[in-house]
């Protein structure tokens, strides 16, 4: 009986490790905010990409790879100001597998979103980033990472 229990635990642990594999293991995300003025904050969503992998831009350039995208949770105290901007050295390269020119970042990219507080309060901005990474041999399954960034106060 102990043996069956142990094997079951190992099976589920292996499935959990497999579920965590892919793009999420190749990118380390960090999230921060910077006060610009009384009610304006800059949210910085930074990706550090491992090894020879690259992460796709928000505008990939072709159909196929999963673009990096952000979904922000609704917060009645906060208004998004403009679109998410990218800061980093973009690579524009023809990739045969996608049959076209693609846009991506190697090693590091910062995604920046400005937000406005509707009043002087302490709150947070949460959401999800979806992304995919590839190297010159393979692409890993897309991944999603949740975030919550404190602002105000």
The beta strands (E) that lie in the chain are given as: 27-35, 40-49, 54-56, 69-72, 78-87, 90-95, 100-106, 108-117, 122-131, 133-134, 143-152
Exposure b/e, 77-114, CB count within 10 A at least 16 = b: bbeeeeebebebeeeeeebeebeeebbbbbeebebbbb
Q: What tokens appear for 40 in the block?
A: 């304006």
CB 129 within 8 A of CB 147: yes
Q: Which residues of the chain have pLDDT under 50?
A: 1-20
Q: What is the pLDDT of residue 153?
A: 77
> Which pTM does this prediction carry?
0.84
Domains in the chain and their CATH numbers? Answer: 2-152 (2.60.40.1250)
Q: What is the pLDDT of residue 19?
A: 42
Q: What is the pLDDT of residue 6?
A: 36
């Amino acid at each position: 009986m102990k043996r069956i229990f142990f094997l079951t635990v190992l099976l589920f642990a292996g499935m959990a490790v497999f579920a965590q594999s892919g793009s999420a293991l190749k990118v380390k995300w960090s999230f921060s905010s910077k006060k610009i003025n009384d009610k304006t904050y800059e949210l910085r969503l930074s990706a550090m990409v491992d090894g020879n992998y690259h992460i796709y831009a928000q505008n990939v350039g072709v159909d196929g790879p999963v673009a990096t995208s952000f979904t922000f949770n609704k917060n009645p105290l906060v208004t998004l100001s403009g679109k998410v901007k990218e800061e980093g050295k973009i690579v524009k390269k023809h990739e045969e597998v996608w049959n076209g020119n693609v846009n991506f970042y190697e090693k590091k990219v910062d995604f920046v979103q400005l937000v406005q507080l509707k009043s002087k309060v302490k709150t947070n901005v949460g959401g999800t980033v979806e992304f995919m990474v590839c190297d010159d041999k393979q692409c890993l399954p897309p991944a999603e990472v949740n975030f919550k960034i404190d602002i105000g106060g």
